[in-house]
Structure 1
Amino acid sequence: MLLIGCSKEEPVSSDSAPQDASYSMRLSIDLWPGYYPAIIAKEKGWFKDAGLNLKLDLPGNTDKMLALFSAGSIDAVAVAFGDAILVTRQMPDIAVILVTDESAGGDAVLSMNKEVLSDLKGKRIGTNLGGFGELLIRRMLDLQGVKVNEVNLVNVDASKVPDLLDSGGLDVGHTWSPYVGQAIEKGANIIFSSADTPGLIPDTVAVSGEFRRSKPEAVKIFLDVWFKAQNWWLTHYQEGNQLIAEATGQRVTSITLEGIRLLDREANVATFNDATSEQGLPNVLKTYNEFYARAGVIRTPAAPSILASEFLQ
């Protein structure tokens, strides 16, 4: 079994490296269903069979994971596209090699008060500030005609939102699956979600610039195996859910693709090259660059060259 832990102290790595693998790659992922094909492929031994020793970590803390990636301690991360763009502050040459999925309801804004959407002024609203969660919150506020300075934005990790809502530490909070389900179990209600902002939150896998340049064949192997695992999951859904639950220590009922649109290879090629629609990756990159510039988060916009579609061919 792949051992994956959610400790904030140290990532828990997968089993030891096979000695006959041609390439090695260390990947850290958020706890998010769109990234679970990596778990399936690891459990099935498909990476090893293809000649790739994939070391898989699940740190359980996005900020720490991004810090490790920026420091060069890991080769790749699976995170929301908005978070991947943030890494360009330290690593401008990262490569986004894959859009795993689009959040189409999987990211949610919740409150214990289901009527709070009509009365947001003065409320404590939690999300990971400076990232895609803040952009989602700002879109919600815009649609409700509420200014940012009329609410209290609080910086919190997504995993903490269910407990903070339950304890009264937050009035409103943004998080994602499986934490959305945990919050609902505590009595919270979804008041807004990524389904209300189509295309705003694509989820991705990014590799370091050094890995992109030195191991292009490893990237191609990774993608081939990823799409194999993704397709297998969609055709063996219950079996796949059981495998993922055992590997991550979650309940099977917590594993769901509801609110998540997985992207296969063909859909990836389309979104990487779609410069005309708002949901095409080049224009989503522009949206985040503009948001981060206004917020003073990034001085130099992420370059279009971070979109590494060449590996998908």
Structure 2
Amino acid sequence: MRKLLSYFLVLILTATVVLIPACSQAPQPVQSKPLRVGWFLWPGWYPIVIAKEKGFFDKHGVQVEPILYSSYTDIFSDFAASKIDAAHGGLYELLKINVPDMKVVLATDNSDGAEGVVVTSDIVTPEDLAGKRIGIQGALSGSEFIITTLLRRHGLSRNDLILVDVGPEIVLDTMPEQIQGGYTWEPYLSKAEAKGYKVLFTTADTPGMVPDVIVFQGAVAKKRRPEVQAFVDAWFEAQEYWMANREECDAIIAKATGQRAEDISIEGCRILSRSDNQKAFTKEDERTSLFDTGAKQVDFFISVGDVFTAPDLNKILDPSYVQGMGADVK
């Protein structure tokens, strides 16, 4: 079921020029080209490192080339241009770019405090954000969705702020000269206090609204289903191994990403197991459902005029892989 594509080996004539009938030579399996998967430094996405380094991808019969990006938004432009086969990303961003025929095959985690807004010390309440320059991750990002959700609770709109395009990885370096606050995530969020800033709010204040997922190109999901299924199975095995062997795996992650092992943390990031995924891919009207959360996200970016056509969640969210059926579904 998980056999890779094979190529016929060239038959070699021996020095004695003995001809070997082609029918007597069985084709030998050769690895197909690796699945190129883009990802970024985020706690919920570290299982890809474990799966690669511990050989879980090989065990399940799939070749994977993880591509670590230094800019989160570059993942989406490359995915939209079909430069990579799959991408890690926030559901919000992926629904917004809505690449034709893309398939979300699993949910990696839910942000539950691992990202939020850091501000200068003079900003005490959300109301104090009015008139301030606040960094967000461009028009594509779900950061605007989360910030707007918070502002509405306090009688403000995004028009009350001066929103500046600043990537989460450089928010702290850009404060306070260019911005007075910004949306960032771990591992940068934890470093805010040491730099004299404070965390105004996090995604713990909007539980269930920021799911992260892995998405594949539609053509890849269709033509290479067994490999995509193998990727998903290896992912969950790596995730379980990480949770059971934190010290060993944190050291592996640190080496692969250039961090310190002691800085590897999943605080504020709720890792989603296979069973969590099976619930997330149901159409229940609650926070655990990707269909419910996705619908809220779509309603938001259409309401603010960023997008005019709603993506079809029924075509994008594919539950077959977390059920272990991806290779069998036609």
TM norm structure 2: 0.85
Report the residue type matching 1:216 in the other structure.
R
* Residues 102-141 of structure 1: pairs in structure 2 closer than 5 A: 102-113=110-121, 115-130=124-139, 131-141=141-151
Distance of 1:140 and 1:233 partners within structure 2: 33
* Residues 1-313 of structure 1: pairs in structure 2 closer than 5 A: 20-21=30-31, 24-88=34-98, 91-113=99-121, 115-130=124-139, 131-165=141-175, 167-304=176-313, 305-313=315-323
Q: Is the 8 A contact 2:96 2:298 kept in 1?
A: no
SS at 2:151's partner residue?
A: helix
1:129 Cα deviation after fit: 3.3
Greater Cα radius of gyration, structure 1 or 2: 2
Percent of pairs with identical residues: 33
Distance of 1:291 and 1:238 partners within structure 2: 40
Q: 1:270 to 1:23 in 2, by over 3 A?
A: farther
Report the residue type matching 2:305 in the other structure.
G
Q: Is the 8 A contact 2:51 2:235 kept in 1?
A: yes
Report the residue type matching 1:125 in the other structure.
I
Distance of 1:300 and 1:193 partners within structure 2: 29
Which runs of 4 or more aligned residues in structure 1 lie more than 3 Å from their structure 2 counterparts after TM superposition?
A: 19-23
SS at 1:52's partner residue?
A: coil
Higher helix share goes to which structure?
1
Distance of 1:115 and 1:289 partners within structure 2: 31
Match of 2:9 in 1: none
1:292 Cα deviation after fit: 1.4
1:118 Cα deviation after fit: 4.2
Aligned length: 292
Q: Is the 8 A contact 1:21 1:51 kept in 2?
A: no
RMSD of aligned alpha carbons: 1.5
Distance of 1:86 and 1:253 partners within structure 2: 35
Distance of 1:97 and 1:42 partners within structure 2: 19
After alignment, is 135-144 or 30-39 more displaced? 135-144
- Structure 2: gaps (5+ residues): 1-28, 324-330
- Structure 1: gaps (5+ residues): 1-18
**Any idea what the Cα deviations from partners look like across 1:149-181, whole Å, max 9, x if unmatched?**
22111111111111112x432111111111212
1:201 Cα deviation after fit: 0.2
Distance of 1:185 and 1:168 partners within structure 2: 17
Distance of 2:154 and 2:132 partners within structure 1: 13
1:87 Cα deviation after fit: 2.5
SS at 1:312's partner residue?
A: coil
SS at 2:320's partner residue?
A: helix
1:27 Cα deviation after fit: 0.3
TM norm structure 1: 0.89
